């Protein structure tokens, strides 16, 4: 617009200027608005614009605050930042172009990087931008990219949730909802590693149900399933959330009690579990009576706790409980190995 005169601007016509520059502002030398582009008019909202003082409509922020129209000439050719005092208080960017002969100046404005918010806030369309302005096309591409990235993120979240659910299912006993052998093995390896570094001791309890076979033989497998779910409930009640409980066989359970190092205390926990298991469980009006034999070993019994050896020692301690009459808890003391159980125990 170098060399533009007021006569040139008048010759082009304000409507044509508005089509070329939908966000232009024509200001007279005394600071009054003479003409305004249609998009800028939409931003300013209701109320008269023609004849309004420029400084009543806008606050100039950069390159410095503008307090008087006498200083506007100093902004010639510079990029300025203004904020609308009406409506949404939108911040706009633009450039001042003086008209020849001291006839005022024209300011052509744009949204800059805030165009997406402006389109949303003012419900702008393609018609609100100059025909040569690629803003709408770029905005469309940005929105498409955002939509695609949103869908990809949602897909990733669904895949991650499916993966987590699949992993949880692979580590869970379907009947009782407890961990399975795979889950126990992972936790026991982790616990042994920490204990070997002196970062936490634990107790390992092996529980084998007594008289469970009789329940299955007399009342059927549905009764047996009910008993197993009730056993799982007892174990949850008698342990903490930080402990690990797993069903590792038909009627075999293993409990990893973190932080437990006292054999007497662990034996009392085992006795309490057995006492709860011996409460009759009703199935279709018929009592199902079971008990439990528990074998225990402690990580502190080992110079370097080994998952396989601890499994074996807790298992053998369970056989000792069965040999000694069932319904009891035996703690392996680390000095000898319990005898094998009698057949049919």
Architecture of domain 6-129: 2-Layer Sandwich (3.30)
Cα 275 to Cα 223, 231, 268: the distances in Å are: 20, 12, 10
Give the pLDDT of the chain (345 residues) as one tens digit per residue. 444 554 555 545 677 777 888 888 888 888 888 888 888 888 887 777 888 888 888 888 887 776 666 666 667 777 888 888 877 778 888 888 888 777 788 888 888 777 777 787 888 887 888 877 777 667 666 666 677 778 888 888 888 887 877 776 788 999 999 999 999 999 999 999 999 998 899 999 999 999 999 999 999 999 999 999 999 999 999 999 999 999 998 999 999 999 999 999 999 999 999 999 999 999 999 999 999 999 999 999 999 999 999 999 999 999 999 999 999 999 987 665 444 444 444
Q: Which residues belong to the active site?
A: 251
DSSP bridge pairs for 91: 83
Q: For the chain, which residues make up each domain, given as ranges?
A: 6-129, 134-170, 181-331
Which CATH code for domain 181-331? 3.30.70.270
DSSP bridge pairs for 81: 62, 93
């Amino acid at each position: 617009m170098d060399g533009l005169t007021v006569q040139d601007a008048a010759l082009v016509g304000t409507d044509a200027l508005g089509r070329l520059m939908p966000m232009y502002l024509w200001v007279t030398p005394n600071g009054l608005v003479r003409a305004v582009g249609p998009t800028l008019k939409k931003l300013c909202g209701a109320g008269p614009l023609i004849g309004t003082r420029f400084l009543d409509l806008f606050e100039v922020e950069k390159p410095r605050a503008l307090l008087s129209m006498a200083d506007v000439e100093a902004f010639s050719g510079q990029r300025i930042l203004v904020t609308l005092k009406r409506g949404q208080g939108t911040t706009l960017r633009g450039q001042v172009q003086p008209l020849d002969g001291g006839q005022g100046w024209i300011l052509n404005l744009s949204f800059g990087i805030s165009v997406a918010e402006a389109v949303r806030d003012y419900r702008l369309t393609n018609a609100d931008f100059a025909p040569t302005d690629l803003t709408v096309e770029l905005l469309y591409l940005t929105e498409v990219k955002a939509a695609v990235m949103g869908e990809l993120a949602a897909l990733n979240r669904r895949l991650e949730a499916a993966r987590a659910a699949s992993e949880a299912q692979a580590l869970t006993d379907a009947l009782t909802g407890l961990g399975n052998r795979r889950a126990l093995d992972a936790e026991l390896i982790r616990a042994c590693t920490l204990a070997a570094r002196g970062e936490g001791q634990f107790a390992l309890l092996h529980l084998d149900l007594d008289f469970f076979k009789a329940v299955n033989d007399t009342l059927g497998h549905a009764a047996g399933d009910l008993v197993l779910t009730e056993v799982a409930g007892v174990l949850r009640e008698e342990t903490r959330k930080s402990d690990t409980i797993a069903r590792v066989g038909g009627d075999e359970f293993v409990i990893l009690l973190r932080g437990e190092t006292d054999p007497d205390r662990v034996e009392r926990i085992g006795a309490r579990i057995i006492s709860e298991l011996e409460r009759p469980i009703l199935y279709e009006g018929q009592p199902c009576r079971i008990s439990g034999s528990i074998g225990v070993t402690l990580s502190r019994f080992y110079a370097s706790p080994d998952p396989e050896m601890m499994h074996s020692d807790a298992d053998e301690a369970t056989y000792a409980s069965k040999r000694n009459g069932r319904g009891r808890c035996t703690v392996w003391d680390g000095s000898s190995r319990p005898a094998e159980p009698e057949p049919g125990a």
